[in-house]
Structure 1
Amino acid sequence: MTERIAVPRTPDATNATDTSDTSDDDGRLPPPRLALDGRTWKEIAHLLTNLPMATFGFMYVVTVLAVGAGLAVTVVGLPVLAFGLLGARQLGKFERGRARMLLGVRIDEPSPLPLRRGGLLSWLWSSLKDPVGWRTVLYDLIRLPWGIATFTITFISLFLLWPVLPFLARGLTTVDRVLVRGLLSPSDELERRIAELESDRGVVVDTAAADLRRIERDLHDGAQARLVNLAMGLGLAKEKLLENPDAAAAMVEEAHGEVKLALQELRDLARGIHPAVLTDRGLDAALSAVASRCTVPVKVTADLATRPAAAIEGIAYFTVSELLQNVSKHSGAGSASVDVWRSGDRLLIQVRDDGRGGARLDGGTGMAGLADRLGAVDGLFVVDSPEGGPTTVTAELPWRDRGSEASSPAGRTRSRA
């Protein structure tokens, strides 16, 4: 079973045209036609259907705007407007299909609204500032007078101006093509990237908040509790120091053990935030340290001539760390391996184990969170884990140079037997 989460990349909206030999969507006007061929009849059909479609679209957007604005002082006004903009998106989709079928104008569909985790208010705000929906509203508002004009001219020309009808159809539909391209096509790649980055920002914020809650919980339940017990124990030892020195010495000894445990918990917590070995020695040494704590033998191979940026290095480290925790807890594996290498402008990570397999993104092992983290930085996460094993998890991250920072030794291999 293979599951894949990636940050999709869509074609640039400026290249939204199709240069097939049956399409007019190459930005150039075909030569004039004197005969009423099939293409001309399609253009006539488009012009005659402009009026009913423009009338419906105009009535829809006016109703949505009037009701949404009229109810804006209440709690239902903005949701009505938001749903109305979603409906306008569907009208735009229908119009793009009509232009594609009758005018040969082929345009990429705009990116869908990004999914947000902030609940109803977050979704509402995203819908209300949707540029695709608002451009469709503008398209439907200005289409009514144009639809009336094109229907009237085309209808009269069918009976009175037959010889020049091909030229009239060509000229009128040229304006339709301009309107569709200008208002119903994705504006540019920047708009797509803004939508993706807004969605990714929500993932990053949620992840950072979860990490802070985890650190707070670990401090409260671990080191903080031990330090409180330590203070109480030392207080009791101080009281018994003169009257019962042996009991006081035993309490001090116990407090000494508590100090060691508290220090170990603080070290583990600091390692979970950002390990010093990663900062000082890079991924090779840091991943070898992670592998040494795994309950199964892990072979680590890092083939990196230079070190990536600190942020990418940190994401790679925590990705491998969590995957190896899954190997220890859930896989039932006898051995595992970690390979890290650079390919072009990507940092690739592959973690394999010979366990029972069956790992899934929705299996409750934290893999969905890893996929979200990688997706937030234009990364890729692939899980290949058939029932019975083996399991192979591949992660890709964009390579960003560290600059003048010291590079790590290349091609070192370490094993833990």
Structure 2
Amino acid sequence: MQKDVAARPPRRRALAGRVRWCTRGLLVAVLSQAGSVLLWSAMVTTLATMAVGIGFLILPVVMIAVRGLANFHRRTAREWTGRGIDTPYRPTTSDGAYDTTGAFAHCRELLSDPATWRDFLWMLLDAPLGLVLGLLPAAFVAYGLNGMFVTPFLWQSMGPHWGFGATWFITDQGEANLAIPQGLVLIVVGLLIAPALGRLHIRFNRALLSPTRNARLTLRVEHLTETRSDAVQAQAAELRRIERDLHDGAQARLVSLGMKLGLADTQLETNPDLVRQLLADAMESSSQALTELRDLVRGIHPPVLAERGLDGAVRALAVALAIPVEVCIDLPKRPQAPIESAVYFVVAEALANVTKHSGADRASIRLWYADGGLRAQVGDNGRGGAKAEGGSGLRGLQRRLAAFDGELDIDSPPGGPTLVTMELPCEL
């Protein structure tokens, strides 16, 4: 009995997943037809108006619509399978101003991008393929439901015919009742093939909408150039911070310490009481300078990270937070020291944002290693609305991770909850 109860939820989840794939197939079928008809009509209109110059103004709008549809399929690939499709487009340098010169330059850039023509090819092939792959599972289910709940009861009102819901000529009630088991089989078949056909359509999208090898190398070079620039700027900013902290903190206290010791040396024989006071002040200054130096070193590389590793350091961050934090860490081994440091500071900054901006009363931290990458999630039940460009420090986290070819994803709808997910490729 316990085995049956425990097995029921996974079966229900599997059934719900197959039903979702059926509904996704309907969406794919509708988009394949609507997108193709609308965008190709707009393209024909654009080309027809090129001769009078209006086409150069319309074409960028059409291309934005084409790329928007393609990007929607790229996003759904990630949402439906957990693996997205990279964007292959070259960055545009023209501002797309709506005058003759700007529009012509923009059109030339768009049409010279190979990804543009691959989008057109994808739309041309997706019209029949998306319709078949998307509609077939739902058609099986709909035909099976009709055979189970319509044909056995309404076949007489339709007269003897090849029954809608049956695959034979119906002449009596017995033949109509045979549509029930056939309908059940069709529903099962439709639900069984829905995930496979949905994933087949995503593989088709990935083949045409992904960057080519040359485009991927170009994008990689651009990404590395950008991340190198960000890393250099971040390093320069960090050096300026360390210099400022040393100058305003420990250095000033050490200068004061030297002056007090010099004054004590001059008053050693004439004013012993003043010397004792100066030495006491010097000891306090040296203690404060040592504390500031330790804080500075902790900001560069926390000792807890070197002593306990990433697991212990993150748990120490959770304990220090003012709200309850649920921690789940699954790391079979320690990552390399630079990766550990980057993840530690990203998690620390994310938790600081939870305290400062979210208004949450609960938070969670999850760390795990899978598929050659270290992944971390920081979540809270706060007010949401966090954005990388919102000045909350998330943009700085993106730059820190980009130096290691990592990514930061922020899911924070208004009203919450917020989930910040980071991923860094590494070896343990």
TM-score, L = length of structure 1:
0.51
From 255, 259, 265, give the equivalent of 1:238: 265
Q: CA deviation at 1:270?
A: 0.8
For 1:266, give the aligned amino acid.
Answer: L
Separation of aligned partners in 2, 1:304 and 1:216: 36
**1:401 equivalenced with 2:418 (yes/no):** no
Q: CA deviation at 1:204?
A: 1.1
**1:314 equivalenced with 2:331 (yes/no):** no
Separation of aligned partners in 2, 1:279 and 1:303: 18
For 1:401, give the aligned amino acid.
Answer: E
Separation of aligned partners in 1, 2:411 and 2:111: 39
Asked if the contact 1:304–1:341 (Cα under 8 Å) also holds between the matched residues in 2, the reply is yes
For 2:427, give the aligned amino acid.
Answer: D
Structure 1 match to 2:288: 261
Moved more, 371-380 or 221-230: 371-380
Separation of aligned partners in 1, 2:103 and 2:245: 44
Q: Which runs of 5+ in 1 are unaligned?
A: 1-44, 53-78, 108-184, 403-417
Q: How does 1:59-98 map to 2 (within 5 A)?
A: 90-91=107-108, 93-94=110-111
Separation of aligned partners in 2, 1:253 and 1:233: 10
Distance 1:87 1:215, change over 3 A: farther
Separation of aligned partners in 1, 2:343 and 2:422: 8
* Structure ranking higher on relative contact order (CA contacts 8 Å, 6+ apart): 1
Whichever structure has more helix as a proportion of its residues is: 2
Distance 1:224 1:340, change over 3 A: same
After superposition, the C-alpha distances for 1:49-81 in whole angstroms (9 at most, x for unaligned) are: 9xx9xxxxxxxxxxxxxxxxxxxxxxxxxx99x
From 353, 357, 367, give the equivalent of 1:340: 367
**1:327 equivalenced with 2:354 (yes/no):** yes
For 2:303, give the aligned amino acid.
Answer: A
For 2:344, give the aligned amino acid.
Answer: Y
Structure 2 match to 1:248: 275
Structure 2 match to 1:305: 332
Separation of aligned partners in 2, 1:370 and 1:384: 15
For 1:373, give the aligned amino acid.
Answer: R
Q: CA deviation at 1:381?
A: 1.6
After superposition, the C-alpha distances for 1:182-228 in whole angstroms (9 at most, x for unaligned) are: xxx88442222112211221111111111111111111111111111
Separation of aligned partners in 2, 1:382 and 1:105: 31
After superposition, the C-alpha distances for 1:290-314 in whole angstroms (9 at most, x for unaligned) are: 3444444544432100112222212
Structure 2 match to 1:203: 230
Separation of aligned partners in 1, 2:245 and 2:314: 23
Separation of aligned partners in 2, 1:314 and 1:396: 14
Structure 2 match to 1:193: 220
Separation of aligned partners in 2, 1:360 and 1:188: 29
Asked if the contact 2:111–2:117 (Cα under 8 Å) also holds between the matched residues in 1, the reply is no
Q: CA deviation at 1:255?
A: 1.6
Q: Any idea what SS the aligned residue of 2:264 has?
A: helix
Q: CA RMSD in A?
A: 4.4
Separation of aligned partners in 2, 1:243 and 1:189: 79
Asked if the contact 1:200–1:375 (Cα under 8 Å) also holds between the matched residues in 2, the reply is yes
Q: Any idea what SS the aligned residue of 1:282 has?
A: helix
Separation of aligned partners in 1, 2:223 and 2:388: 21
Structure 1 match to 2:189: none
Asked if the contact 1:336–1:352 (Cα under 8 Å) also holds between the matched residues in 2, the reply is yes
Separation of aligned partners in 1, 2:399 and 2:103: 26
Q: CA deviation at 1:327?
A: 3.1
Separation of aligned partners in 2, 1:267 and 1:362: 32
Asked if the contact 1:223–1:266 (Cα under 8 Å) also holds between the matched residues in 2, the reply is yes
Q: CA deviation at 1:364?
A: 2.0
Q: How does 1:2-401 map to 2 (within 5 A)?
A: 90-91=107-108, 93-94=110-111, 187-398=214-425, 400-401=426-427
Q: CA deviation at 1:388?
A: 4.9
In the alignment of these two chains, the number of paired residues is: 256
Distance 1:223 1:312, change over 3 A: same
Separation of aligned partners in 2, 1:304 and 1:186: 33
Asked if the contact 1:283–1:302 (Cα under 8 Å) also holds between the matched residues in 2, the reply is no
After superposition, the C-alpha distances for 1:150-205 in whole angstroms (9 at most, x for unaligned) are: xxxxxxxxxxxxxxxxxxxxxxxxxxxxxxxxxxx884422221122112211111
For 2:108, give the aligned amino acid.
Answer: L
Structure 1 match to 2:10: none
Separation of aligned partners in 1, 2:103 and 2:399: 26
Q: CA deviation at 1:276?
A: 3.1
Q: CA deviation at 1:390?
A: 4.1
Identity of aligned residues (%): 47
Q: Which runs of 5+ in 2 are unaligned?
A: 1-43, 52-92, 95-100, 124-211
Q: CA deviation at 1:262?
A: 1.0
